[in-house]
Amino acid sequence: MEVRADSYLWAIRMYKSRTLASEAIKGGKVKLDGDNFKPSHVVKIGERYTLSIGDTKKIIEVTALIDKRGNFELAQKHYTDHSPVQTKQEKLDSVFYSPNVKRDKGSGRPTKKDRRDIFGFNSPD
């Protein structure tokens, strides 16, 4: 059985559509052993693909061929994931929003003076 690379990546549920898989390959977001390739590349067992999906990097090895999209458990049997473990990054506080501002419930919208007090724009007179 011969399977195209874009069809294989779609079938193992790495991309939502074959078109997205094809565009990722053309855009250089998917590498075959560190090199670019075409979406029509015929997948072989033992090949390693490096996928850049957003901030995450996945390294998968082909263990069996599949051309039809099935459920996740079936798709997992056709590749081995060699991706490094992702550590959760701490979220930085926003410099534009101050979530610690407390206002009494029912006091209405802040006035211009209230907003200046909240955001610290008043000069210390």
- CA 41, distance to chain mean position in Å, is 24
The residues spanned by each domain of the chain are 5-81
Span 22-31, pLDDT tens digits: 999 999 999 9
Domain at 5-81, CATH from 3.10.290.10, 1.10.20.10, 3.30.70.60, 2.60.40.10:
3.10.290.10
pLDDT at 15: 93
Beta strands in 11-112 (DSSP E): 30-32, 48-53, 56-62, 79-81
The encoded tokens of residue 109 equal 């919208």
Which single residue is written with the structure tokens 């250089």? Answer: 28
Residue stretches of the chain with pLDDT short of 50: none
